[in-house]
Structure 1
Amino acid sequence: MSEPSAKKDDRPIVWFDIDNTLYSASTKISQAMGQRIHAYFLTLGLDDDAASELHHRYYTQYGLALRGLTRHHQIDPIDFDRKCDGSLPLEDMIFPSESLRQLFLDIDRSKFRVWALTNAYRTHAERVLKILNLTDQIDGLVFCDYAEPNFVCKPEPAFYEQALKVANISDPTLCYFIDDNKSNVLAAKQLGWGRCVHFCEHGLESVEGGKKLVINNSDVGSSEIVSVTNLEELRSVWPEVFKQ
């Protein structure tokens, strides 16, 4: 689920999702991942259409295809991770960004902590942060612990509640959060997380469960959620977070 619990710290936390947030969906990583997950569903003995339908259904119902696989099929989630996330040629698909690193450097660390909150397993999350040259800018990491039976993930309330415990923060209004999945953002908002932002790259598409879906579907949820198309916009949305 996470790194060891943090020591008592009264600073608010800025939570960043990782995939399709710290890098653009134009990298096509989600499509490459979708192909690998589809191939994994085929190993269940399904034909193409049935595999696509089940993949899509699990992704829609649980927020993570693997969540459905572990609930309804006898699969090894670590094996799944190795064959799907672990086989991605990430070093050829994403690269460090000076502007992104500067955005993190400009966060006022005297007033705020910075954590990552991801549905990926730890190995994938750490790999992405290392490639993006952001490892030293992340104070803590909360991830889906595939090694745990009945693990939880975004947008399940239990995932956010465990995140607060791990980060040793009792007041959810002290949480800032950005994610490319609007359902994940809405779930955090409904749990009282203070300043939630939807990262929405208009027009980009992702393949989930063998079906094309518009990323960050604006049909989901509430007009109260602030949207940005570029992470640089956080400087205006969350001005208090950055050094003056």
Structure 2
Amino acid sequence: MGDNKDDRLIVWFDIDNTLYSASSKISQAMGERIHAYFVSLGFSHEEASELHLRYYTQYGLALRGLTRHHDVDPLDFDRKCDGALPLEEMIKPNPRLRKLFQDIDRTKVRVWALTNAYKLHAERVLRILQLDDLVDGLVYCDYAEPNFSCKPEPEYYVKALEKAGVTDPSKCYFVDDNRGNVQAAMRLGWGHCVHFSEHGLEIVEGGRVKQIDNENLAGPKVIGDDNVQVITDLEQLRHVWPEIFKKEI
């Protein structure tokens, strides 16, 4: 995947809780498996909850803390957490989303996925959603790599640009359901960043249930001092980024 000599614009889509709705409860199911993994290491339920939240908050990914502080095999973690999810029962193809991807003008734009998951999980989700043939490249957390990086660490974004052959970050378009990940990309000069947030739905961050609430957003808006644009439906990208879509005849 990918062409290091390609100078088209590039759109980066996060995968989990972005390409499918948080209502699928995948994050909750994942949180339960991660909690069970902490407990299997000998932690009490209270300690497991505390460490899960601390590592997620500190590193952006609970597994980063586990590998740094508890000598955990990340591939074992992946098999028992991401790999154990019954994804085929939880998400289905979305024709509307596929049409959105198809309507991106490929003469001007490349489409890549940018995820904190491992390759196997990312490819599995894209395949189930029937988007795998519309994604040109994938940047993921390489659990086989010692001291791997993840969003929102700057090293992760630098690695993504290198893998995609991007020399000008202002050509990057990026959408993610995690505001911190979007802010990190903006600090590195990524030109067009959007926070995807489904109003009123619950997600799990760091093992804790969190209510998504962006002041009853009805459409794309800029929220907060960081000037992050927020959308509640990926279809709104047609209005936020009209230049990347094919012109209607």
TM range (shorter): over 0.9
Q: Retained in 2: the 8 A contact 1:180–1:216?
A: no
Structure 1: 5+ residue runs without aligned partners?
none
- What secondary structure is seen at the aligned counterpart in 1 of 2:210? strand
1:226 counterpart (221, 224, 229) = 229
1:124 counterpart (121, 127, 136) = 121
Structure-2 residue corresponding to 1:166: 163
Bigger relative contact order (CA 8 A; separation at least 6): 1
C-alpha distance 221-38 of structure 1, shift in aligned 2 (>3 A):
farther
Tell me the amino acid that sits aligned with residue 159 of structure 1.
Answer: Y
C-alpha distance 35-223 of structure 1, shift in aligned 2 (>3 A):
same
Structure-2 residue corresponding to 1:48: 45
Tell me the amino acid that sits aligned with residue 46 of structure 1.
Answer: F
Q: Retained in 2: the 8 A contact 1:13–1:113?
A: yes
Return the TM-score normalized by structure 1.
0.95
State the alpha-carbon separation in 2 of the partners of residues 221 and 89 from structure 1.
37
Structure-2 residue corresponding to 1:197: 194
1:126-174 per-residue CA deviation (whole Å, 9 max, x = no partner) reads 0000000000100000000000000000000000001000000110000
Tell me the amino acid that sits aligned with residue 84 of structure 1.
Answer: C
Q: Retained in 2: the 8 A contact 1:106–1:242?
A: yes
Return the TM-score normalized by structure 2.
0.93
State the alpha-carbon separation in 1 of the partners of residues 32 and 243 from structure 2.
41
State the alpha-carbon separation in 1 of the partners of residues 93 and 188 from structure 2.
33
Q: Retained in 1: the 8 A contact 2:200–2:213?
A: no
Quote the offset at 1:211 in angstroms.
Answer: 2.0
Q: Retained in 2: the 8 A contact 1:200–1:227?
A: yes
Q: Structure 1 vs Structure 2: percent identity of aligned residues? A: 68
Tell me the amino acid that sits aligned with residue 161 of structure 1.
Answer: V
Q: Retained in 1: the 8 A contact 2:199–2:214?
A: no
2:243 counterpart (236, 240, 243) = 240
Quote the offset at 1:221 in angstroms.
Answer: 6.3
Structure-1 residue corresponding to 2:220: none
Quote the offset at 1:74 in angstroms.
Answer: 1.2
Q: Retained in 2: the 8 A contact 1:94–1:131?
A: yes
Structure 2: 5+ residue runs without aligned partners?
216-222
Deviates more, 1:81-90 or 1:197-206: 197-206
Structure-1 residue corresponding to 2:146: 149
Q: Retained in 2: the 8 A contact 1:186–1:222?
A: no
Q: CA RMSD in A?
A: 1.5
State the alpha-carbon separation in 2 of the partners of residues 157 and 216 from structure 1.
27
Question: Is 1:181 matched up with 2:184?
Answer: no
Q: Retained in 2: the 8 A contact 1:182–1:217?
A: no
State the alpha-carbon separation in 1 of the partners of residues 242 and 234 from structure 2.
13
